[in-house]
Each structure stands twice: as structure tokens, then as C-alpha cells.
């Protein structure tokens, strides 16, 4: 094991105010079980899970309440015991509605005995367990990528035939402003991460391991060095320059391995890489060794409008209002509430939204930190083009979308856009360039889906 500096620097990138000092020194704190949980069936990327319970049912902590529903999907387990008050559509962080279980965690079935303290799943010895058993465990534990996208982990760790994972890249960059959840996990759960790496290495057939951490987290680098000191095989901690969006999968692969993932629909596995967030790796260790499914996660609650910023270990389904209450409430009334970080997170309209497996942060920003801009004409300064980590002509894409020329945006490779926000961040004319790109991508995806449906219908005839 050795520590190296990243020899590859991607072009573009920006330096937002990180504001990580707010929550960086706060140890992970487990919050008391909230009285009510709202457990969404759509906590991951892909098809929402199929709800298996109905109002009035009693559920046990760890019980499967949502069934994996398709290839790109994961199951949902109850993050606590209690009584299902209702199953209804609830607003998610990204603005869409999905089925959710409203769980009363105080209610107990009458005449119930003391809850058993045994593990939810049978603990496995990863050294003797087969690759298939380990994969099945990760799937039944309901694990998906905890960095933000929420891609089902068991799918990612099972490359299609003909593709081999040569490098397992651990994403500990956490380049989003304010967020310190991954940092705290690396600091406090380094041995769990190491165990997770060993399990993943076995599943993936012994790839080389690259642990990517930004240079502004020296304590995390030290903790990981200590935990991985005596590991055998090709393992390196790669110290990355502080640059947003260093945590982007494609840029991380470039920074650590020097390989470039081709344009969509290509995936990291096409260049022999699997990238996994450090939190996910720790969850894998827990699922295998302890039989503990993914029921809770660390969420950073921060921002200048929250009384005490904290890194909270909370069950998935905890309402934002409960998280804020655990942080001592609001310091000042927030002007904006963001699920996630300030660069890619979602502004939400209410605190009546609940955490999911991918909620890395909740930010409450005072009016001082929130500015509303009026978009002006593009002056062609090129800042967005220089900032774009995907080397896109963002200015041209934005102008094309503004005049409803989606075809021109597509020709300008808008589908490669990772929506990191670097363009909008650097635009002196306050143009919502990222939003223009999203609009183009959604419109292109809708057209592709329509074409596919049409082709399928034609094939049926």
C-alpha cells in the first residue's frame, strides 16, 4: 500500500466556497428514533420497489417492505419496527412523487414479546462465502450507491460477461460544498471500509484498488493509510487536487487510473473500472459481516441557518424536520433548503420530505447565502467552456436550448453533460446553463423513449 499524488488533472473545474468547517469536526451522532418515518419505495436509481405492506400492518426493523422490481432496482427494508399508518404518494427530494410507507415507530402489536436482538440477516464469513453469496447478500441488504446517484450496487459489482474490473476506485473525494458525511465515515469507520474493500475485491476477482481522497482532507488520508497499512495486493491511496467536480465518477477514474470513459451510454466498466462511494463500501462490510442491511446512513445537516451543524446517523426515512430539530432547530429562518450539496443538490419546498439511502446532506441557507439572479444575455466570455469538466461548449448549448433548438444542443454533445453546475457557477451573466442542459437532456431522453416505444410497436405488428 502506498500513497501517491494524482498524476492526471482533468481540464476545467471550479473552486466553490467549501464551507466544510461548519460540520467537519462534528463526530457522527446517532439520532433517537423519530416518532414517524416516511420510507420511500424510490430511494435508488431505477425502478421503484414494489410495496409489500398496507395500512395497519405491523413491520419489524429490517423486514422487506418493498420488493426489488426489475434488474436495475433494489429492495427496501423497514428502517424501524412499527405500524404502517398509510401507504401513499409522497414528495421526494428531487421533486417527484413516489409510494411511501408512513410508519408509526411507537406502535407495537398487542402482546408482543421483547424484540429479539439477533442479526437481521445471517452474518457471512466473506473468506469462505462464494462470490454469488456475497453478491446476493449485497442485493438483499438493499444496498445502492450512497454518493448520490443510488445505482444498485449488486448490479455494479456484477459486470456483464466479457467485461472485467481491473480497478476498484473508492470515491472519498466528497467535492460538494458543506458535505462532510463521507469525511466522517472515512475518519471513524476506516476499518469497516477496509473490510468492504476486501469483500468487493473478492467479488470483482481481485482488481487493483485506488482510494481517491481530495488533498484538503489530510486527516481522512491518515485514517485510511492506517487502516490499509498492512493490506496486500495493489492498493494505492491517490491524493487528488482540490477541484470541483473531483468526485464525478468519470473524472475520478481519470484522476486515479488515467483512463477516459467514452461518451454515454458507455459506463466505467467499459474501461475496466468500478467506482464506489466510501459510505457504500462500509455498508457492504456491515451487510456481510454483521448481517445488517442498509437501514441508516450518515447525513450532514449544515448551513448557516441551522443551530448546530451535525453529521447525523439516521434511519432512512427520517423527515428533514426531525433532522433539523435534532440539530437544535433553525438559527434563522432559512431562505433555501437544499437536499444534497450546493452544486448539485435539490432545492426543496418543505421540510416534510424524508431522507433516502442517497441523502448525503441537508443544507439550510439564510437569505445572506442565497442570491436570486436575473439571467442576462450571453457575452461569449467562455468561462463556462473553460469551467466545463466535460469540455463541452456550454454557451452554445445554452443558446441552442434558449431558442428551442434541441437538435443543435444534441450535436454539441449535451448528453455528455454531468450536470455538475460548474458552468452556471462561473457565468457572469447568471445564465442558468446547467438548467438549459437538463432541459435538453430530458427532451432528448423523452424523444428517445418515444422512438423506442414506436419501434417496439412496429416490431409487434
Partner 1 sequence: MKPKETAAHYILSSSPHTHSNSSVSRIMLDVILALLPTTAVGIWFFGMAAVWTIAVCVSTCIVTEALCRLAMKRENTIGDLSAVVTGLLLALNLPAGIPLWMAVVGSVFAIGVAKQVFGGIGMNPFNPALAARAFMLISFTGPMTTWLKPICHCKCSAEAGVVDALTTATPLAAMKGMFTAEATASATPHAHKAIEQIPSLWNMLIGNMPGCIGEVSALALALGAAYLIWRKVITWHIPAAFIVTVFVYSLIAGGAPAYAQVLTGGVMIGACFMATDYVTSPITAKGKLIFGFGCGLLCMLIRQFGSYPEGCSFAILIMNAVCPLINRWTQPKPFGAK
442 binds partner 1 (CB under 8 A): no
Q: How far is the CB of 106 from partner 1 (least distance, A)?
A: 11
Least Å distance between CB 422 and partner 1?
Answer: 8
Q: Least CB distance from residue 409 to partner 1, whole Å?
A: 13
| Using rule CB under 8 A, residue 17 touches partner 1 | yes
106 binding partner 1? (CB under 8 A): no
343 binds partner 1 (CB under 8 A): yes
Contact pick of 27, 32, 161, 333 for partner 1 (by CB under 8 A)? 333
Q: How far is the CB of 423 from partner 1 (least distance, A)?
A: 9
* CB closer to partner 1, 75 vs 365: 365
State which of positions 290-319 bind partner 1 (CB under 8 A).
319
By CB under 8 A, residue 21 contacts partner 1: no
Stretch that binds partner 1, among 192-200, 214-222, 284-292, 336-344 (CB under 8 A): 336-344
Does 94 interact with partner 1 (rule: CB under 8 A)?
no
Candidate ranges 152-160, 180-188, 226-234, 432-440; the one touching partner 1 (CB under 8 A): 432-440
130 binds partner 1 (CB under 8 A): no
Interface with partner 1 includes 348 (CB under 8 A)?
Answer: yes
Residue 39 is placed in which grid cell?
A: 420510507
CB of 248 to partner 1, least distance (A): 10
Calculate the CA 414 to chain-centre distance: 22
Cell numbers for 194, please give them: 477496509
CB 304, min distance to partner 1, A: 12
Round to whole Å and give the CA distance between 85 and 14.
46
Residues 158-187 that bind partner 1 (CB under 8 A): 177
Q: Which is nearer to partner 1, 152 or 245 (CB)?
A: 245
- Minimum distance, C-beta of residue 376 to partner 1, in the bound complex (Å): 6
Q: Which of residues 360-389 bind partner 1 (CB under 8 A)?
A: 363, 365, 370-373, 376-383, 385, 388-389
Among 24, 184, 250, 441, binds partner 1 (CB under 8 A): 250
Amino acid at each position: 500500500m502506498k500513497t501517491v499524488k494524482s498524476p492526471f488533472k482533468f481540464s476545467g473545474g471550479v473552486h466553490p466556497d467549501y464551507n466544510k468547517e461548519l460540520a467537519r469536526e462534528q463526530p457522527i451522532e446517532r439520532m433517537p428514533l423519530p416518532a414517524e418515518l416516511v420510507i420511500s419505495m424510490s430511494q435508488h436509481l431505477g425502478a421503484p420497489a414494489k410495496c409489500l405492506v398496507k395500512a395497519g400492518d405491523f413491520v419489524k426493523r429490517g423486514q422487506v417492505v418493498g420488493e426489488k422490481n426489475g434488474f436495475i432496482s433494489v429492495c427496501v427494508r423497514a428502517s424501524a419496527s412499527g405500524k404502517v399508518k398509510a401507504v401513499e404518494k409522497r414528495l421526494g427530494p428531487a421533486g417527484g412523487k413516489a409510494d411511501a410507507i408512513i410508519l408509526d415507530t411507537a406502535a407495537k402489536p398487542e402482546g408482543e414479546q421483547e424484540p429479539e436482538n439477533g442479526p437481521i440477516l445471517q452474518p457471512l464469513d466473506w473468506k469462505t462465502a462464494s462470490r454469488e453469496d456475497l453478491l446476493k447478500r449485497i442485493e438483499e441488504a438493499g444496498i445502492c450507491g450512497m454518493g448520490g446517484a443510488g445505482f444498485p450496487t449488486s448490479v455494479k459489482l456484477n459486470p456483464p460477461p466479457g467485461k472485467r474490473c481491473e480497478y476498484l476506485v473508492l470515491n472519498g473525494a466528497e467535492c460538494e460544498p458543506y458535505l462532510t458525511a463521507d469525511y466522517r465515515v472515512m475518519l471513524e469507520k476506516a476499518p469497516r471500509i477496509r473490510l468492504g474493500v476486501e469483500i468487493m475485491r473478492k467479488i470483482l476477482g481481485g482488481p487493483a484498488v485506488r482510494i481517491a481522497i481530495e488533498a484538503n482532507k489530510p486527516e481522512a488520508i491518515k485514517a485510511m493509510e492506517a487502516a490499509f497499512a498492512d493490506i496486500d495486493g495493489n492498493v494505492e491511496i491517490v491524493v487528488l487536487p482540490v477541484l470541483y467536480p473531483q468526485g464525478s465518477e468519470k473524472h475520478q477514474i481519470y484522476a486515479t487510473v488515467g483512463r477516459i470513459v467514452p461518451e454515454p451510454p458507455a459506463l466505467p466498466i467499459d474501461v475496466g473500472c468500478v467506482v464506489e462511494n466510501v459510505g457504500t463500501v462500509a455498508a457492504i462490510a456491515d451487510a456481510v459481516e454483521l448481517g445488517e442491511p442498509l437501514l441508516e446512513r450518515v447525513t450532514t445537516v449544515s448551513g448557516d441557518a441551522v443551530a448546530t451543524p451535525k453529521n447525523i446517523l439516521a434511519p432512512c426515512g427520517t423527515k428533514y424536520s426531525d433532522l433539523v430539530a435534532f440539530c437544535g432547530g433553525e438559527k434563522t429562518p432559512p431562505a433555501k433548503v437544499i437536499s444534497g450539496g450546493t452544486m448539485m443538490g435539490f432545492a426543496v419546498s418543505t421540510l416534510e420530505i424524508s431522507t433516502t439511502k442517497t441523502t448525503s446532506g441537508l443544507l439550510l441557507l439564510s437569505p445572506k447565502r442565497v442570491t436570486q439572479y436575473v439571467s442576462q444575455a450571453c457575452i461569449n466570455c467562455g468561462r463556462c467552456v473553460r469551467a466545463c469538466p466535460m469540455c463541452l461548449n456550454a454557451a452554445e448549448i445554452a443558446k441552442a436550448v434558449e431558442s428551442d433548438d434541441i437538435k443543435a444542443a444534441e450535436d454539441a454533445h449535451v448528453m455528455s453533460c454531468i450536470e455538475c453546475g460548474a458552468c452556471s457557477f462561473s457565468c457572469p451573466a447568471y445564465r442558468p446553463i446547467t438548467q438549459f442542459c437538463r432541459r435538453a437532456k430530458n427532451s432528448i431522453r423523452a424523444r428517445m423513449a418515444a422512438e423506442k416505444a414506436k419501434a417496439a410497436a412496429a416490431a409487434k405488428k
